[in-house]
Amino acid sequence: MDLSIFDYQSKGDEHEIELDALFKRLAAGPHGLSEQEAVRRLEAVGPNVLKETGGESTLKKFLRQFSNFFAILLIIGAILSFIAEHFDPGHGNLYIGLALGAVVLLNAVFTFLQEYQAERIMEEFKEMLPPKVKVLREGKVREILARDVVSGDIMVLEEGDGIPADGRLIEIHALKVDNSALTGESEPKSRSIRCTHEAMLSCRNMVFSGTMVQTGNGRALVFATGMETQIGKIAHLTKETREVASPLRQDLNHFIRIISAIAIGLGLIFFGVSVFVHRSVMASLIFAIGIIVANVPEGLLPTVTLCLSLAARRMAGQKALVKRLEAVETLGSTTVICTDKTGTLTQNWMSIKTILLLDLRMTVQGKEVIHGEETGPDGLTEESELERHLISISALCNNARLRPEPPGYSGDPTEGALLVFAREKMDLEKLIVANPRQREIPFDSRRQRMTVICGEPSSGLTAYIKGGPEVILERCDRIQTRQGIHPLTDSTRESILAGHREIASRGERVIALAYKEAKDLNEREEGFIFVALAGLMDPPRPEAKTAVELCHRAGIKIAMITGDHSLTAQAIARQVGVVPDGEECITINGDELARLNPSELALRLKAPHIIFARTSPVQKLKIVEAFQANGEVVTMTGDGVNDAPAIKHADMGVAMGSGTDVAREAADMVLMDDNFATIVTAVKEGRTVFENIKKFVAYILTSNTPEIIPFIAYVLLGIPLPITVQLILSIDLGTDLVPALGLGVEPAESDIMDRPPRPRDEKLLTSQVLAISYGIKGPLETVAAFFAFFWVLSYGGWHWGQQLGMNDPIYLQAVTIFFASVILCQVANVIVSRTRKTSILEQGLFTNWLVWAGIGVELSLLMVIIYLPLTHRFFGTAAIDPRLMLLVLPFALVMIVGDEMRKLLIRRGSTGLQRLLGW
């Protein structure tokens, strides 16, 4: 072997030279490479991957953490603190500046690490779905990783495949390729074996890396991989896509703007008040910084990122891979799920249950069947021309492949079931060798049929066709019976269609099979001889019914979309509970859907139960848009090429793991098990994520009140300042952070799927959240902290109006007990914040270990700040008698008992009361 073949580089004439010359140049053959040779070439040239350039550097990602509004506020505060220290030293401003700087740095590091971890999770998910391609090696079709393709391989291309390398076509069957990723052409282009243009990119005998097979199939000889491909040379894979903010990200930005406006507004107002009451400008400035810092929830962004990352990991463990973290939350607001039937609600393996032949006398287990009697596949023998044609159509008009593992085939389930049926009746290898395929017109969702021409031109050709009964009957003018071939009369057609309806009503997918002699390879699809109807059953998934019932309880409408007959669709819909027993549904066929205008369709979509039958994938986009126009939040499933526009346009696009590369690329989430129940699990996870984010938002906002009020009282009432800026920061980024993370992973409340979907416009920061945090829990914590603060001051001999030095032991102890009171009340707060409606006893006190770990960290930090002498100077604290903390316990108990009473009223009250007391 000439080793120079390993570093083969495109000469630019691969589209023009003869195929034999190209095979010779690549040291390849029509049966593909040997495994040993493919490995040698892969080791020499390297994997078939594109090197990424132009991405954001790690340093740039880290520096970006300092550009959010919270960070800018704190940086300005730190600078002002240093300025104050310079002009008026000795008042602790240096420590405030250092603390603010440390907070900004720690927050940036934590957020950066969380985002990095989230990116790694997404990369791990991508690695779980590596692109694959079928290649011909040693004369056998094998599926390999796209990165392992080498020059000289023969790619086997089918509808929906992503093309991983540049190749010269050697075989095509109605092949069309979408080159838009490379050339910008919006329309898929037909391919050819001949050279049609002197420019390689415009020549139709070529396929290129990064493009997609739209329809048909074919084979191509690979001559360029990796960076040697056209897309590798032109694009160099620059990352220039602009990220669009998700609803959750927009909501967080809205929250940040409101909180920041409140913080800055209060800071400016009380800066003016402080100056007005004749405090120095520097003292007033530090006071304003304290107000701003007290209002800013510094740990919010990293906590949200961590919450979403953990949710994504949990979903991955349940076979749902999210491609964007924020997509987790979008699932929770879903109001309509548009789902495929096959493979999602059903098990996606088929078997033939019924065969219907009209006007037939044949042997079925020793009995004669006459005039349209049905039989199962076991009842057929190979005694007549009719049976031989039935078996030939099943085996030859087929692209599935037999395999030893269950269910016995690979490929399309319908074709697989036909192939397994034919194998049981005839020697397939002998049949296929005797009838080589000469031409194929592939199945297409618009055509609803597949045609092949087999045989030898010298000895005779036969055309075989299969597809939807209505479509096939239109192309038939005769019928095959055991007695011979007869004209296909109108009454016979009606008998066939009646049989079709009967079989479909049992939930079976029905296809028709026909054949005819072909004069040449350009034979038209007409004048066929009808042979039989085959009824195939794809059994419902056993868990589908429970999942569907859960959706109904959760207020989510399910619209089933299928290409099957309406009777088949209705039967399956009732079996899995999409249409509950005793209830009516609206069935819209594809033809009817095409005729409906938007207003008519919008009216139909208001029905509680809807089935779309005989629907093409391209019509899914119309369905999605119509639901969205009705104000619904739509989750759309799909697996095919033509599903991609609808998947991408939906609020939440879901692709099947077994689906095409195109569908997976367009989706926000990929189902590794293709299971409808997994979607429902993901919806539950999405709802839980939003609820949990709301819980820790309410939790961290509560401590703002006892952090802000002391500064206001300090200015207006002239009392000693009860809490320092350093202690505020220790609450926001120390003691509050880990419990908040615990709330982020709180298990779902028992009624999470009994509630209707949240409104599209519902925000994280609602009036109820503000009322609970700032109007009830926050003031309770403030009262508790001031009670303990003044208790210590009074016990130490302080009287109203007395000025205390910053280092006065009584003042330091009072500050310490104020701080301790806030922490202890926050312990009670995190316990009650674990649920919004469910009793904490019902939820389980110890079902969330991270919350209790957070409480442990919270109390440990409290002990360190109180009793470790090294911390006293920085935080302005002092050791206190532990018994003083008992002063706060009644307030903590009031918070727990009071919140349990609130939840009880919500559970037993009216909807209005629930809105008033809930959040």
Give me 353's structure tokens. 């249950």
Distance CA(888)–CA(34), nearest Å, equals 78
Residue at 457: amino acid letter: P
Q: What share of the chain is helix, strand, coil (3-state, %, to 5)?
A: 50, 15, 35
Distance CA(400)–CA(71), nearest Å, equals 59
Q: How far is CA 66 from CA 71, 80, 105, 400, 656, in A?
A: 5, 17, 8, 56, 39
Please tell me what DSSP assigns to residue 757. P
**DSSP letters of 336-385?**
EEEEESTTTTB-S--EEEEEE-SS--EEETTEEE-SS-EE-GGG--S-SH
Radius of gyration of the chain (CA): 35
Distance CA(213)–CA(172), nearest Å, equals 11
Angle separating helix axes 676-702 and 809-832, nearest 10 degrees: 160
Contact 382, 391 (CB under 8 A): yes
Give the up-direction half-sphere exposure of residue 378: CA atoms within 13 A in the CB hemisphere: 2
Residue 239 phi/psi, 5° resolution? -95, 95
End-to-end CA distance of the chain: 73
Please tell me what DSSP assigns to residue 489. -
CB neighbour class for 185 (10 Å; exposed up to 12, middle 13-18, buried from 19): middle
Block residue for tokens 């107000």: 291
Q: What pairing do the DSSP bridges indicate for beta strands 528-537 and 557-561? A: unpaired
Q: How far is CA 648 from CA 346, 410, 889, in A?
A: 24, 28, 54
Distance CA(265)–CA(258), nearest Å, equals 10
**DSSP letters of 204-260?**
TTEE-TT-EEEEEEEEEEEEE-GGGSHHHHHTTTB--PPPPPPHHHHHHHHHHHHHH
Give me 157's structure tokens. 């291309």
- Give alpha helix (H) positions in 407-543: 413-423, 428-434, 469-474, 490-504
Contact 196, 16 (CB under 8 A): no
Count CB-CB contacts under 10 A for residue 172: 22
Catalytic residue among 340, 564, 643, 732: 340
Strand partners, 212: 162, 178
Give me 417's structure tokens. 């079931």
Q: Among candidates 217, 224, 229, which has minimal Cα distance to 156? A: 217
Give CA 334 to chain center in angstroms: 12
| Cis ω for the linkage preceding 89 (within 30 of 0) | no
3-state secondary structure of 165: coil
Distance CA(21)–CA(722), nearest Å, equals 88
- Give alpha helix (H) positions in 65-136: 69-87, 93-128
Distance CA(608)–CA(601), nearest Å, equals 14
Distance CA(291)–CA(192), nearest Å, equals 72
| Cis ω for the linkage preceding 710 (within 30 of 0) | no
Task: Kindly report the length of the chain.
Answer: 919
Residue at 217: amino acid letter: N
Contact 75, 105 (CB under 8 A): no
Does the annotation mark 340 as catalytic? yes
Annotated catalytic residues are: 340
